[in-house]
Structure 1
Amino acid sequence: MEAQFPEDFRCPISLEIMSDPVILCSGHTFERASIQRWLDAGHRTCPITKLPLPEYPSLIPNHALRSLISNYALVSPPKLHHQPLGEPQALITTLSSPSSTLDSKLDSVDQLIRLSKRDAAFRSKLTDSGVVTAVLRCVGSNDLILQEKALSLLINLSLDDDNKLGLVAEGAIGQIVTALLGGGSSNCRALAATVLTSLAVVDVNKATIGAYPYAIWALVSLLKDGKGREKREAATALYAICLFPDNRRRAVQCGAVPILMRIADSGLDRSVEVLGLLGKCKEGREEMVNFNGCVRVLVRVLKNGSSRGIQYALLTLNSLCCYNEATCLEAIKQGVLEICIGLLDDDNEKIRRNASNLIQGWFCAQWSYCLILNNINYEMITSLNKKTLLDCLTYGSILTRSIQYLSHSGHWKFNNDKLEFFFLDSQFSYLGMAIRSLNQLLNYSSSCKMVVWLGWLKLVFKDVLILMLRKRSIDGIFNNFAKDEPAKIVLSLSILFLIKGP
């Protein structure tokens, strides 16, 4: 059976059929385990092109190819005794003829499926012989078995880029959408979604599919009402289509976000991957923010999801936290910061990077995220001076005693409007350093108004303390301050303790 698989399904390194194909930044696809071994051995060139790779190459899951390989193995189980295959043109004629019996059409489709597995050249020969028109008629058949086999044949024919364009040009999208919306079998709907995934590999087809009436709506409906495999294939197709930015807004308008959220909450990680894309558009972020329990769902994925699910949950949270202050505070309340700190040592490079980006995003957003200690409100902040602020710095069980005024030490390094300070010596008292640093900042900004975030200050820390300061005007809160008067710029002090190691 394996010998019948197209060569594109084989890893260029192991020459085995791929089960987890990933795309290297060079554009070539490999089995994840094989390319990871290549990279772990210290190689930083593409095994095929020999072009240099970055220090930490990204491995992008090739969901479309993975789905095709999976479905390819299912569409035509191997038989112990193969009958001789007919001539392609005769088989196509049988499919096209109104006088052909159902049994003869089924037999012709079976043989064409087997023929289409030979190689790209033979698939091209089939399409040139007019097979597409004939098979699309079968996709619209009332017989579910014929419809299912026709969709399986379309999957095989769509393996090659030239055929992907040709299928769309001959009107395949309309028939596939009809199959998605029709009353066919569950397997037919799943196969129809897989065909869309395959066609969407070509960028121009992404735009064409997205603009086709009811195409995205049909996939969203399948996500909502379909069974297990239907949901997975619909999510995969939606992901492939939404790689084209304009389609993200269309998916949101079709009601994808709440459906994806509920599916993600039930454990389907592919839905989180789609959310990661939809979070890149304003409409998608608005829908997620308005979904009750959005952060809770994503946190659950961070705790229990697969590597890919965690990766895209972090990406989605990053988009939301840079967009909405309330979401950011909710994420902090749900323990996302502590989770991210733990993920900084994850084996997956993308998870490490996304966790780091999420942490940094909290300090580089367009506003300041502040937990006002001891119920200090914004009006009270405007009247606080250095001593009053120090006297108020107690925070329940996290910081159980008032911070005393201590002389400051150390050096600040200024870089435009961002201030950074790193403590790396584990022999020092981290709490003491935090206190000294805070006082130094207060001395520096004694004529300025301040908002302080010490919500994550703890009594025991390890390895590294990163203290970052970003100053800006907070529109709508201190809008009476002139932005060109440095003495009246609102300062936001954010203290983050990164705990690494046991």
Structure 2
Amino acid sequence: MPLRFFRLTPKLTSRRPTTTTKTSTSPSDVPIPSHFRCPISLDLMKDPVTLPTGITYDRRSIETWLEAGNLTCPLTNQLLPLPLVADGNLIPNHTIRRMIQEWCVAHRSHGIERIPTPKTPITSVQVAETLSEISAALLRGDGPRCSDLVAKLKAWSNESERNRRCISSNRAAARVVSEVFKEFPSEQGLSVLADMLPLSEEARKLLSSTESLNSIVSVMRNGNLSGRLHAVLMVKEIAAADTEQAAQIAATDGLIESIVRLVKEPFSPQATKASLVAAYYLVSSDEKVASRFAEIGFVSVLLDMLVDAQKNLCEKGLVVIDGVLNSEIGREKASSHALTVPLLVKKMFRVSDITTEFAVSAIWKLCKNQKNNVGREKCLKEAMQFGAFQKLLLLLQVGCSDNTKEKASELLRMLNGLEGTEECIETSDFKQLKRSF
């Protein structure tokens, strides 16, 4: 028995490693062959291309290198042909790509996914031919064909950043698509135009037509989320180009209301930012436009947004408020809102230099341009109560622009007669203030 026991023991112990040494290998643990790595990013190449110097890089890495203005091969430092640098027509290395794909398949058990075969980038000739087809279909009044060809442009644009640049670089592209949108409006047309920003003057003129603007407003009201975003981007693009044009497009029925709604009911940070920038150019174009924004409650919407807004939105929101306060109705609406002065005082030092300047400007407009002394004194006392006097003194000590310094000094002179008449409280304590929601 003892002999048998000792003969069985080795067999039992020899089986243990077979059940305990199985370990899983993560993709990061699998060594990548050096010739499969991009010399720039050192990552596995997904779309290998070869330069005339014989060195292979991943397309995205080498295109980024060339776009930065470099004229040489990163590895050899040899000068590259100027047509290659200008056009970016890089030669795909199909052999290396197939080898990489085979290696991925061989290591599938380790979690390595096979890289897809990249699509060949479009050329400027393909873009020009497609735009010619669109123009021909437009002359025939063939809406469905125009729609199909615009969809083709969008599909190309979605494939790669290089394709987007190739389409945008065609001088006629934005004009042609704008013509199609004017005659056969669609969210897809706006999406293609959004990929081409900034637009040409011809394209902006077409989008500024009554037909196009009415279609843009319709998308802002009833479109899907991406359509509404692209629509407000078009409004921003048009309004930013020309002050007179901004005042004209502001008269489009429902446009101002649609912008206010996009800020009041945000669905993406990008859409909110675009709406605020569009609103800024519109309110800056004409006092009547600023009044219209104020009449439909934009001041209240902006103040509610500013309570918890992050830096970027806060800056844009204060710039718009300052613009709305150029109108008498805007100042009346702001003066009657409980959050206006405490928020403006609070934002003086807590965000950025931009918010500081526009917060001071807004308070200055409120206090200086009141209809009567009673309204001015009320505004000044409220500013004093929330610590404006101390903050303005500090602002002059730390430094600011000449324009802001002038307004801060004038505000201090107005506040000086009120010093000590009101108790200064913490601007962060808004519990006693009634918000509009």
Which of 406, 409, 417 is equivalent to 1:359?
Answer: 409
CA drift of 1:283 comes to: 0.6
Which of 275, 281, 286 is equivalent to 1:234?
Answer: 275
Which of 125, 142, 155 is equivalent to 1:97?
Answer: 142
TM-score (norm 2): 0.58
Alignment of 1:390-401 (within 5 A): none
Identity of aligned residues (%): 16
Contact 1:289 1:320 in 2 (8 A): yes
1:152 matches 2:152: no
Q: Distance in 2 between matches of 1:114 and 1:94?
A: 24
Corresponding residue number in structure 1 for 2:260: 220
Q: Distance in 1 between matches of 2:183 and 2:341?
A: 46
Contact 1:197 1:237 in 2 (8 A): yes
Shift in CA distance, 455/359, structure 1 to aligned 2, threshold 3 Å: farther
Corresponding residue number in structure 2 for 1:82: 121
Corresponding residue number in structure 1 for 2:355: 309
Corresponding residue number in structure 2 for 1:338: 390
Contact 1:235 1:271 in 2 (8 A): yes
CA drift of 1:103 comes to: 6.0
Shift in CA distance, 313/2, structure 1 to aligned 2, threshold 3 Å: farther
Please state which structure has a larger fraction of its residues in helix. 2
Corresponding residue number in structure 2 for 1:326: 378
Shift in CA distance, 328/220, structure 1 to aligned 2, threshold 3 Å: same
Which of 232, 237, 259 is equivalent to 1:193?
Answer: 232
Contact 2:290 2:323 in 1 (8 A): yes
**Deviations, residues 446-482 of structure 1 (Å, cap 9, x unaligned):** xxxxxxx6659xxxxxxxxxxxxxxxxxxxxxxxxxx
Q: Distance in 1 between matches of 2:379 and 2:61?
A: 49
CA drift of 1:318 comes to: 0.7
TM-score (norm 1): 0.51
Contact 2:174 2:203 in 1 (8 A): no
Corresponding residue number in structure 1 for 2:102: none
Q: Distance in 1 between matches of 2:340 and 2:136?
A: 54
Contact 1:132 1:170 in 2 (8 A): no
SS at match of 2:338: coil
CA drift of 1:171 comes to: 2.9
Q: Distance in 1 between matches of 2:62 and 2:230?
A: 23
Alignment of 1:132-151 (within 5 A): 132-136=178-182, 139-141=185-187, 146=188, 149-151=191-193
CA drift of 1:3 comes to: 12
Q: What is the letter of the counterpart of residue 410 of structure 2?
A: Q
Shift in CA distance, 294/177, structure 1 to aligned 2, threshold 3 Å: same
Shift in CA distance, 166/134, structure 1 to aligned 2, threshold 3 Å: closer
1:108 matches 2:153: yes
Contact 1:136 1:150 in 2 (8 A): no
SS at match of 1:159: coil
Q: What is the letter of the counterpart of residue 118 of structure 1?
A: S
Alignment of 1:339-488 (within 5 A): 339-346=391-398, 349-350=400-401, 353-363=403-413, 370-371=417-418
Contact 1:110 1:149 in 2 (8 A): no
Contact 2:290 2:324 in 1 (8 A): yes
Contact 2:174 2:200 in 1 (8 A): no
**Deviations, residues 36-59 of structure 1 (Å, cap 9, x unaligned):** xxxxxxxxxxxxxxxxxxxxxxxx
How many residues in Structure 1 have an aligned counterpart in Structure 2?
A: 289
SS at match of 2:359: helix
Q: Aligned-pair RMSD on alpha carbons?
A: 3.5
Q: Distance in 2 between matches of 1:110 and 1:136?
A: 21
CA drift of 1:249 comes to: 0.7
Q: Distance in 1 between matches of 2:146 and 2:203?
A: 28
SS at match of 2:378: helix
Q: Distance in 1 between matches of 2:322 and 2:63?
A: 36
SS at match of 2:284: coil
Corresponding residue number in structure 2 for 1:251: 293
Q: Distance in 1 between matches of 2:174 and 2:300?
A: 42
1:204 matches 2:256: no
Shift in CA distance, 304/126, structure 1 to aligned 2, threshold 3 Å: closer
Q: Which has the larger radius of gyration?
A: 2
Q: Distance in 2 between matches of 1:104 and 1:294?
A: 50
Contact 1:329 1:369 in 2 (8 A): no
Corresponding residue number in structure 2 for 1:118: 169
Shift in CA distance, 340/306, structure 1 to aligned 2, threshold 3 Å: same
Contact 2:335 2:379 in 1 (8 A): yes
Q: Distance in 1 between matches of 2:390 and 2:362?
A: 17
Which of 280, 290, 295 is equivalent to 2:341?
Answer: 295
Q: Distance in 2 between matches of 1:80 and 1:328?
A: 65
Which of 253, 260, 267 is equivalent to 2:302?
Answer: 260
Contact 1:139 1:179 in 2 (8 A): no
CA drift of 1:193 comes to: 1.4
Contact 1:4 1:117 in 2 (8 A): no
Q: Distance in 2 between matches of 1:307 and 1:250?
A: 29
5+ residue gaps, structure 2 = 1-59, 71-117, 158-163, 371-375, 423-437
CA drift of 1:190 comes to: 2.1
CA drift of 1:212 comes to: 1.0
CA drift of 1:222 comes to: 0.6
Shift in CA distance, 277/204, structure 1 to aligned 2, threshold 3 Å: same
CA drift of 1:224 comes to: 0.3
Q: What is the letter of the counterpart of residue 252 of structure 1?
A: A
Q: Distance in 2 between matches of 1:328 and 1:343?
A: 18
